[in-house]
């Protein structure tokens, strides 16, 4: 629900729209869970959820765990889960040798989370899965809807999606299917960092420069690399982003696989 209030800042309007989406999802789609990657986007979304529901998180947080995250990510996860009293559920993902052998190596490693999510939904029958993705992250994600239907096997038909006009969302779910819900779809990377700074949201310290390198996007240690950067504070990250044209996911190795790898991952259910 967009607001034209003249005194509302741009960040407050983004927050307002996201809270509206979250409350719509909670009211209309049950049962629901949220995927928490422990990265900057999903942690900012988790912060907004706590605002939307008056300090309470009314659905489970799920980490799809390949056991390949960096140590700092696990440390941050455990600390925040305790401090914020989260219903945190760890879903271990199947091994890489069970993934599609025709995928490029890094994409095959990433596909483990798709399989883990499919197992989670099949077992716990979630009808809604909330994620912290944004349209500006990757070209395939630019095609997403806020409420995005998924087939029984998790596949995404990006060529046949419901229209979303005037904040009217289609939330009916055919038997066996589920909805992916994207409350941050309209945000940008800089928006997330400006909001994190404004709200003083905790972050994994890997985002800040150490010895001339930092992680711009967090993923498994076998498929993610840091970038060269001297940005050791959020203010410096924002300034750096305002001056760069390097893609956010430049450190994600799977994004450098064959041209159709990410499209194949997304179409089959990747986040």
Write down how long the chain is.
271
Q: Provide the token pair at 215.
A: 């992680």
Q: For 10-188+257-267, which CATH class?
A: alpha beta
Sorting pLDDT into bands at 50, 70 and 90, what band is 257? Answer: very low
For the cut 70, the answer to whether the pLDDT of residue 208 exceeds it is yes
Give the E-state strand segments of the chain in sequence order.
32-35, 61-65, 88-92, 128-130, 147-150, 178-181, 213-214, 227-228
For the cut 90, the answer to whether the pLDDT of residue 119 exceeds it is yes
As a whole number, mean pLDDT of residues 119-144 equals 87
User: What digits encode the pLDDT tens for the residues 83-109?
Assistant: 999 999 999 999 999 998 888 887 887
User: Strand pairing partners for 178?
Assistant: 150
Residue 145 CA to residue 247 CA, distance in Å, equals 22
Q: Residue 223: what pLDDT?
A: 85
Residue 271 CA to residue 114 CA, distance in Å, equals 7
**pTM score, whole prediction:** 0.87
Residue 34 CA to residue 180 CA, distance in Å, equals 10
- Provide the b/e sequence for 192-202 (b: ≥16 CB within 10 Å): bbbbbeeeebe
Contact of 244 with 253, CB cutoff 8 Å: no
User: Strand pairing partners for 32?
Assistant: 128
Residue 197 CA to residue 200 CA, distance in Å, equals 5
Residue 242 CA to residue 237 CA, distance in Å, equals 9
User: Under DSSP, is residue 246 helix (H, G, I), strand (E, B) or coil?
Assistant: coil
Instruction: Say how many C-beta atoms besides its own lie within 10 A of residue 110's C-beta.
Output: 29
Sorting pLDDT into bands at 50, 70 and 90, what band is 8? Answer: confident
Sorting pLDDT into bands at 50, 70 and 90, what band is 115? Answer: very high
User: What digits encode the pLDDT tens for the residues 32-65?
Assistant: 999 999 999 999 999 999 999 999 999 999 999 9
Sorting pLDDT into bands at 50, 70 and 90, what band is 259? Answer: very low
User: What digits encode the pLDDT tens for the residues 164-173?
Assistant: 776 778 788 8
The pairing of strands 227-228 and 213-214 is antiparallel
Structure-token match 């600390």, residue found: 79
Q: Which of 117-126, 153-162, 239-248 has the least mean pLDDT?
A: 153-162
Q: Which of 99-108, 139-148, 154-163 has the least mean pLDDT?
A: 154-163
User: What digits encode the pLDDT tens for the residues 218-252?
Assistant: 988 888 899 999 999 999 999 999 998 887 866 55
For the cut 60, the answer to whether the pLDDT of residue 73 exceeds it is yes
For the cut 70, the answer to whether the pLDDT of residue 262 exceeds it is no
Sorting pLDDT into bands at 50, 70 and 90, what band is 185? Answer: very high
Q: Residue 164: what pLDDT?
A: 72
């Amino acid at each position: 629900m967009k607001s034209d209030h003249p005194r509302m800042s741009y960040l407050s309007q983004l927050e307002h729209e996201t809270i509206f989406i979250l409350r719509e999802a909670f009211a209309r789609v049950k049962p629901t869970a949220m995927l928490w990657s422990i990265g900057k986007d999903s942690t900012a979304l988790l912060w907004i959820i706590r605002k939307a529901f008056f300090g309470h998180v009314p659905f489970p947080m799920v980490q799809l765990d390949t056991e390949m995250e960096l140590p700092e990510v696990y440390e941050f996860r455990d600390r925040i889960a305790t401090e914020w009293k989260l219903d945190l559920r760890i879903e271990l993902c199947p091994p890489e040798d069970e993934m599609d052998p025709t995928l490029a190596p890094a994409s095959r490693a990433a596909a483990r989370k798709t399989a883990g999510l499919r197992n989670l939904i099949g077992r716990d029958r979630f009808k809604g899965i909330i994620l912290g993705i944004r349209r500006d992250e990757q070209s395939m994600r630019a095609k997403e809807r806020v409420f995005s239907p998924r087939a029984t096997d998790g596949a995404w038909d990006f060529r046949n999606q419901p229209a979303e006009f005037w904040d009217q969302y289609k939330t009916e779910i055919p038997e066996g299917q589920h909805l992916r819900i994207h409350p941050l779809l309209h945000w940008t990377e800089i928006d997330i960092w400006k909001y994190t700074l404004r709200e003083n949201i905790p972050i994994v310290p890997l985002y800040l420069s150490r010895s001339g390198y930092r992680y711009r996007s967090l993923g498994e240690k076998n498929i993610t690399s840091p970038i060269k950067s001297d940005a050791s504070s959020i203010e410096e990250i924002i300034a750096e982003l305002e001056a760069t044209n390097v893609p956010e996911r430049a450190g994600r190795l799977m994004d450098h696989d064959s041209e159709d790898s990410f499209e194949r991952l997304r179409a089959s259910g990747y986040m």
